[in-house]
Amino acid sequence: MLGVTVLAALLACASSCGVPSFLPSLSARVVGGENAKPHSWPWQISLQYLKDDSWRHTCGGTLIASSYVLTAAHCISDTRTYRVALGKNDLTVEDEQGSLYVDVDTIYVHEKWNSLLLHNDIALIKLAEPVELSDTIQVACLPEEESLLPQDYPCYVTGWGRLWTDGPIADELQQGLQPVVDHDTCSRWDWWSFKVKKTMVCAGGDGVISACNGDSGGPLNCQAESGSWEVHGIVSFGSSLGCNTLKKPTVFTRVSAYIGWINEKMQLAHLALGLHNLSDTMIRTLLLSALVAGVLSSGLAASLSHLGRVVGGEEATPNSWPWQASLQYQSGSQWYHTCGGFLVAKNWVATAAHCVSNSKTYRVVLGRHSLSTQESGSLTVKVSKFVVHENWNSNQVAQGNDIALLKLESSVTLTNKIQLANLPASGTILSNNYPCYVTGWGRLQTNGATPDVLQQGRLLVVDYATCSSSSWWGSSVKTTMVCAGGDGVTSSCNGDSGGPLNCQLNGQWQVHGIVSFGSSLGCNYYRKPSVFTRVSYFISWINSVIANN
């Protein structure tokens, strides 16, 4: 339920990727290959272009997230209009059960793509809308960054390419076993020599089985020890002598060499989306606010929550997080929840910078459990002004400073249902695996419904060294942020942006984070923890804003 979604980033083999509902029939024989079992490679897509009012298959590709497809750069032309066909087995059946067609929003071709040398032959396609995953449409796992497969590792190439040199394109999806050829062998003078670079991977070359024209951009599927399938290659080129020439294996773009590039492109695209579509409550980070003592001791909940499992979370005990706020905006005569927040002074609420816009009118609801009910003890206060961090840049969300303070029109009276959040000491860093709880009214699952009652979810802190490693969030995470979760089960989700990460120290609850962003691959992806603005970094800023306003 809590959701943070914007930044993108790839996961190395998440528990929900690379496991088809229909297991492939694996035998050794896409020139020299065989028909694949229908929908046994559910991440395989057909990239199609429009010509004379009809759509034509041109390349393969791989679904790596609900909105993203990986393909080859050489498949893309600025002069064509494209669509992506998913869940397909037979390309001649337009309305094949379980299939769908999606328009293309944006295509990112690698900046260093060289069409002469075929270097950096990779492109990322952002779909016009996310697809709903099903038995026939699933995402592939990606390998660990810079991972290399050993000689003769068995992999399968899939696609609708030509059945033989200069032959017809297949109607039904084909598969073919292609053992990996290591770089030392593939770069020998009588193999591919200097044409093969270390950013490529070779497979095949036995003179029998090979990818052929029309398979460009499609995946080289290799099964990990866990049993899930990882896409290690993107079909790039083969021999002009024919589709299956001895010692001329198919050459693929090595996906593990481009994990950072893929992450970067996905993150940039999703950050822009999330920030400029607040009505969809896309995930954002929020800034927690500032200390001030009140009538009641701050950070001491009147009734302790049953601490358990927001995507993958559970309903909170009513009023057990009494500093939790709902930030709402006005549209017509109605008010709509857009972000979370928390009370840091009697007339100040902290939230995320990306949650606020000068074009909207806001109010804050406090002491509330059910957003649809006028509950006893709750109150609604208009926002008179808000202060966004001066270094916040909505075009560079990954740079941080995603924090804002909302000044209320009037001070609130503290009660057992409305209390101040306690903030940590400046510079405090929580240890790895420290247990915290994220709270909010975010979506219950990826693209799912928004709950009516407050949710909570237990998230363990992930230290900076781990969270910033290449197979986690990489350079998208800064020291001004804190990560929590990443177990693939519990996470914050859309609509929780700006809400608190609550952590108990010495019997007292402190707000250590403001929900900022998460993975565009879904609300609860393995190794893609929720990312929060680290409150302890901004204590001086919070105090200064409150004192000067």
Tokens of 457: 């979810």
- DSSP annotation string for 416-483: SSS-PPBPPPTT--PPTT-EEEEEES--SSTT-PPPSB-EEEEEEEE-HHHHTSTTTTGGG--TTEEE
Is residue 230 located within the same domain as residue 100? yes
- Residue 513 structural domain: 276-548
pLDDT of residue 506: 84
Q: What is the tens place of the pLDDT at every residue in 194-236? A: 999 999 999 987 766 555 544 789 999 999 887 889 999 999 9
- Does a structural domain hold residue 48? yes
Which of 224, 259, 294 is where one domain is finished? 259
3-state secondary structure 220-285: EEEECCCCCEEEEEEEEECCCCCCCCCCCCEEEEEHHHCHHHHHHHHHHHHHHHHHCCHHHCCCCE
Is residue 213 located within the same domain as residue 288? no
Is residue 319 located within the same domain as residue 211? no
- Pair 69, 125: CB distance under 8 Å: yes
Cα–Cα dist 10/264, whole Å: 9
| C-alpha distance from residue 106 to each of 8, 83, 222, 269 (Å) | 15, 11, 28, 9
- Does a structural domain hold residue 84? yes
CA angle 8, 525, 309 (to 5 degrees): 135
Is residue 145 located within the same domain as residue 214? yes
Cα–Cα dist 72/496, whole Å: 36
121 is catalytic: yes
Neighbours of 358 (CB within 10 A): 6
Is residue 237 located within the same domain as residue 319? no
Tokens of 386: 């808000």
- Pair 406, 289: CB distance under 8 Å: no
pLDDT of residue 488: 54
Which of 208, 234, 259 is where one domain is finished? 259
- Does a structural domain hold residue 265? no
pLDDT of residue 84: 98
Identity at 213, one-letter amino acid code: N
Is residue 317 located within the same domain as residue 213? no
Phi, psi angles (nearest 5°) of residue 399: -80, -10
Neighbours of 426 (CB within 10 A): 13
pLDDT of residue 243: 61
Cα–Cα dist 256/70, whole Å: 13
Q: DSSP assignment, residue 74? A: G
Among candidate residues 40, 57, 110, 121, the one labeled active-site is 121
CATH number of the domain encompassing residue 411:
2.40.10.10
Contacts of 159 (CB under 8 A, 6+ apart): 30, 44, 60, 173, 174, 211, 214, 215, 218, 235
Tokens of 384: 């008179």
**Which residue bears the tokens 């929580």?**
430
pLDDT of residue 450: 64
Is residue 307 located within the same domain as residue 254? no
- Does a structural domain hold residue 536? yes
- Does a structural domain hold residue 12? no
Reference 530, options 276, 280, 283, 259; nearest CA is 283
pLDDT of residue 513: 96
pLDDT of residue 95: 92
Cα–Cα dist 525/14, whole Å: 7
74 is catalytic: yes
- Does a structural domain hold residue 271? no
| C-alpha distance from residue 473 to each of 4, 36, 89, 208, 462 (Å) | 14, 35, 34, 41, 11
Contacts of 165 (CB under 8 A, 6+ apart): 31, 212, 242, 243, 244
pLDDT of residue 5: 29
Is residue 249 located within the same domain as residue 363? no
- Does a structural domain hold residue 264? no
pLDDT in tens, the chain (549 residues): 333 323 332 222 333 688 888 888 775 444 566 888 999 999 999 999 999 999 999 999 999 988 899 999 999 998 999 999 999 999 999 999 999 999 999 999 999 998 888 899 999 999 999 898 899 999 999 998 889 999 999 999 899 876 555 666 788 998 888 889 999 999 999 999 999 999 999 998 776 655 554 478 999 999 988 788 999 999 998 876 656 678 888 899 999 999 889 987 876 554 333 222 222 222 222 222 212 222 223 343 433 222 333 345 678 899 999 999 999 999 888 898 888 999 999 999 999 998 898 889 999 999 999 998 888 999 999 999 999 999 998 767 778 999 999 999 999 999 999 999 999 999 999 999 999 998 988 754 444 556 789 988 888 999 999 999 877 888 889 999 999 887 655 444 433 789 999 999 888 999 999 988 876 555 556 677 888 999 999 999 999 999 999
Q: H or E segment at 539?
A: helix 539-548
pLDDT of residue 35: 86
Among candidate residues 216, 236, 320, 491, the one labeled active-site is 216
- Does a structural domain hold residue 144? yes
Is residue 389 located within the same domain as residue 521? yes
Is residue 237 located within the same domain as residue 321? no
Is residue 318 located within the same domain as residue 235? no
pLDDT of residue 538: 98
Is residue 195 located within the same domain as residue 334? no
Q: Are strands 44-51 and 34-35 parallel, antiparallel or unpaired?
A: unpaired
Domain count, the chain: 2
Q: H or E segment at 519?
A: none
Which of 200, 230, 259 is where one domain is finished? 259
